[in-house]
């Protein structure tokens, strides 16, 4: 139950950071250079960290689905 609560908090942030990364990546010609140079690398770091947290919180599911030796 504790993981579910953390996932409910983490997933919206992960979605927002992902959308910001895509938007700044596609719109880097529109944004001022200073904004892009601050937002995109910072967002990339946050995306990696939040994805790692997301993976850690879902690790039991990953093990049961992808790492189990049973029949598929």
pLDDT digits (tens, 9 = 90+) for 16-39: 999 999 999 999 999 999 999 999
In percent, the amount of the chain with pLDDT more than 70 equals 94
Give yes or no for residue 52 having a pLDDT over 70.
yes
Query: CA–CA separation, 31 vs 25, rounded Å?
Result: 10
Mean pLDDT across 35-62? 96
Give yes or no for residue 72 having a pLDDT over 70.
no
Q: What is the pLDDT of residues 33-44, one digit of tens each?
A: 999 999 999 999
């Amino acid at each position: 139950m504790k993981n579910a609560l953390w996932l409910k908090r983490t997933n919206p942030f992960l979605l927002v950071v992902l959308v910001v990364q895509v938007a700044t990546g596609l719109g880097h010609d529109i944004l001022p250079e200073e904004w892009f140079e601050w937002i995109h690398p910072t967002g990339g770091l946050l995306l990696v960290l939040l994805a790692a947290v997301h993976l850690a919180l879902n690790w039991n599911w990953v093990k049961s689905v992808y790492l189990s030796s049973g029949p598929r």
